[in-house]
């Protein structure tokens, strides 16, 4: 199932195509493929080139996959269990100068965006998650105090919506929506649409 963005202006086909399905085939994904996705993430820009992103990478059947899955809220565990790859994105809160990095979350998010575009290009589906226990993640992976788990992402080949339970299938088939362009893009004064 495809679910392209209904855009107001033309955009790059990869951005139009990317979406967040919940139906994943359990077909394994090659380690080299996942390494390419993380290479894309590694080449994201970041403030002062601090590259505050770190990644825990789990392949279904291994200990890291299981731990990442264990941190998820039940809602996410219900659909993400088939995904052959689970990754936890982690942010280093402290800059190389020893100060708080005010934009580490922004930078980690940007690296994840790069990862999703590379995955889409490779024909893979991605679904990011904020619904997980950071405390559990810190404990299970022994994260240092100056690092924070930011988000999870499920990666794999997409399955048919019918592979999901009826409630999830309904969500999968519902239209993708965005706020109107003019509610978001301003010039002159905040709230005044760019015309
Ligand atoms: C940081 C972040 C956290 C998210 N958390 C969850 C989550 O916990 N569970 C879930 O099912 N989807 C989650 N999503 C997916 C969003 O709901 C989804 O990206 C959004 O509805 C837009 O849909 P699209 O990605 O198909 O364009 C999350 C996405 C992001 C970027």
Question: What is the domain partition of the chain in residue ranges?
Answer: 25-161
CA dist., res. 194 & res. 184, Å (int)? 9
Entry pTM: 0.98
* Pocket lining: 71 vs ligand 1, CB cutoff 6 Å: no
Determine the pLDDT at residue 163.
Answer: 97
Q: What is the pLDDT of residue 106?
A: 98
Q: Among the atoms of ligand 1, which is closest to the Cα of residue 112?
A: 31
Is 116's C-beta closer than 6 angstroms to any atom of ligand 1? no
Alpha carbon 136 to its chain's center: 19
> Which pLDDT score is estimated for 175?
95
Q: What local confidence, expressed as pLDDT, does residue 193 receive?
A: 98
pLDDT of residue 50: 98
Ligand 1 pocket check for 76: Cβ under 6 Å: yes
Residues 6 or more apart in contact with residue 179 via CB below 8 angstroms: none
Per-residue confidence (pLDDT) for residue 44, from 0 to 100: 99
- Average pLDDT along the chain, 195 residues, taken 10 residues at a time: 96 98 98 98 98 99 98 98 98 98 98 98 98 98 98 98 97 97 98 96
Contacts of 178 (CB under 8 A, 6+ apart): 5
CATH homologous superfamily, domain 25-161: NADH Oxidase (3.40.109.10)
- Cβ of 131 closer than 6 Å to ligand 1, yes or no, is yes
| Residue 190: strand, helix, or coil | coil
């Amino acid at each position: 199932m495809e679910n392209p963005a209904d855009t107001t202006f033309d955009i790059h086909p990869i951005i139009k195509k990317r979406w967040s399905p919940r139906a994943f085939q359990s077909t394994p994904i090659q380690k080299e493929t996942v390494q390419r996705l993380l290479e894309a993430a590694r080449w994201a820009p970041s403030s002062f080139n601090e590259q505050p992103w770190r990644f825990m990478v789990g392949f279904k059947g291994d200990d890291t996959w299981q731990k990442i899955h264990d941190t998820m809220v039940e809602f996410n565990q219900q659909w993400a269990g088939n995904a052959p790859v689970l990754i936890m994105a982690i942010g280093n809160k402290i800059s190389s100068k020893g100060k708080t990095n005010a934009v580490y979350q922004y930078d980690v998010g940007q690296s994840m965006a790069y990862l999703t575009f590379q995955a889409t290009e490779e024909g893979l589906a991605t679904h990011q998650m904020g619904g997980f226990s950071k405390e559990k993640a810190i404990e299970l992976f022994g994260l240092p105090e100056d690092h924070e788990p930011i988000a999870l992402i499920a990666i794999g080949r997409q399955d048919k919506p019918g592979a999901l339970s009826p409630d999830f299938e309904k969500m999968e088939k519902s239209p993708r929506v965005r706020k109107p362009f003019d509610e978001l893009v301003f010039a002159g004064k905040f709230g005044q649409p760019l015309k």
